[in-house]
Structure 1
Amino acid sequence: MQALPVRLVPGDDVRHTLEALARNRALSAAFVIQGIGSLSVAHLRYAGVDEPTVLARDLEILTLGGSLGPGGAHLHMTVSDSSGHVFGGHVSAGCIVRTTAEILIVHLDAFRFSREPDSATGFPELSIHPQA
């Protein structure tokens, strides 16, 4: 297991940047275990809804977590606005860093993640494989 601290800078797209980092570093199985920072816009997909909701205002990232692998990312985030209202959901493309995002990733080098169709859910779900 290897810890990888990461800082995203203004203008970075959280999802795209983390997926690119996973590809560039050949992370076969990793978890984002925490993230904090700020966004200028968030695209969050709420439970049971097909399209993300766009929150276009200054936001604080309260939590960020999920999995990263060759098949992409599965990330969830909670954010708060200047009134203290909290929103949370699935991280879609378009979550843009305002000032910073400080993220801790853990690479699980003994495993490989993939996304495979799950007949019970109808979605491509995490499949965990030991590295040979």
Structure 2
Amino acid sequence: MHRTHWPATHTRHVALRLTPGADLRGALDDAFRRSGASAGFIVAQVGSLTHARLRPAGRDDAVEFPGPLEIVSLSGTLSPDGPHLHLAVSDAGCAVYGGHLLTGCPVRTTAELILGVTDAARFSRERDVETGYAELVIRPA
């Protein structure tokens, strides 16, 4: 188990409003990198997408979901090694789809996001021999 603690006063918040056409994953990764922080996470989000590209559980390929779509949930961690983000979206019939957020998810009308960032911890992604994936490693700063 990897874990660390830090006081809330060591967390900064970054508020973003993405405009039509912005790539959701790319914009989040860019905002985190511009913050200069060593660890980050999604605090809040709302918005819509033109369409979504997700990697469903247990699959290595991308699936594209046509829109318009509402973002109903977005969660995950941000690190200098890249983000690990899960997205759930709903279509006009209220069907919900979810998976790993991939590049290629353009904002339709808006995406309003709050990120929590800190230098009190360091997040990295390193290959885990048990899972075979680059998993989150949490270290104190």
Shorter-chain TM-score: what band? over 0.9
Are positions 1:107 and 2:107 aligned together? no
Q: Is the 8 A contact 1:2 1:109 kept in 2?
A: no
Are positions 1:130 and 2:117 aligned together? no
- Could you tell me which residue of structure 2 aligns to residue 11 of structure 1? 21
> 5+ residue gaps in structure 1?
none
Amino acid at match of 2:103: A
* Residue 34 of structure 1: how far off its partner (Å): 2.4
- Could you tell me which residue of structure 1 aligns to residue 102 of structure 2? 92
For 2:33 and 2:14, the matched residues in 1 are separated by 14
Q: Alignment identity in percent?
A: 46
- Could you tell me which residue of structure 1 aligns to residue 6 of structure 2? none
Amino acid at match of 2:132: G
* Residue 118 of structure 1: how far off its partner (Å): 0.4
Q: Is the 8 A contact 2:75 2:86 kept in 1?
A: yes
- Could you tell me which residue of structure 1 aligns to residue 44 of structure 2? 34
**What are the superposed Cα offsets for residues 30-82 of structure 1, whole Å, 9 maximum, x if unpaired?**
00122110000100110001111101220000011111110011000110000
Are positions 1:53 and 2:63 aligned together? yes
The count of aligned residue pairs is: 131
4+ residue segments displaced more than 4 Å: none
| TM value normalised by structure 2 | 0.89
Are positions 1:117 and 2:127 aligned together? yes
Alignment root-mean-square deviation, CA: 0.9
| TM value normalised by structure 1 | 0.95
**What are the superposed Cα offsets for residues 80-103 of structure 1, whole Å, 9 maximum, x if unpaired?**
000110001110011110000111
> 5+ residue gaps in structure 2?
1-10
Q: Is the 8 A contact 1:31 1:65 kept in 2?
A: yes
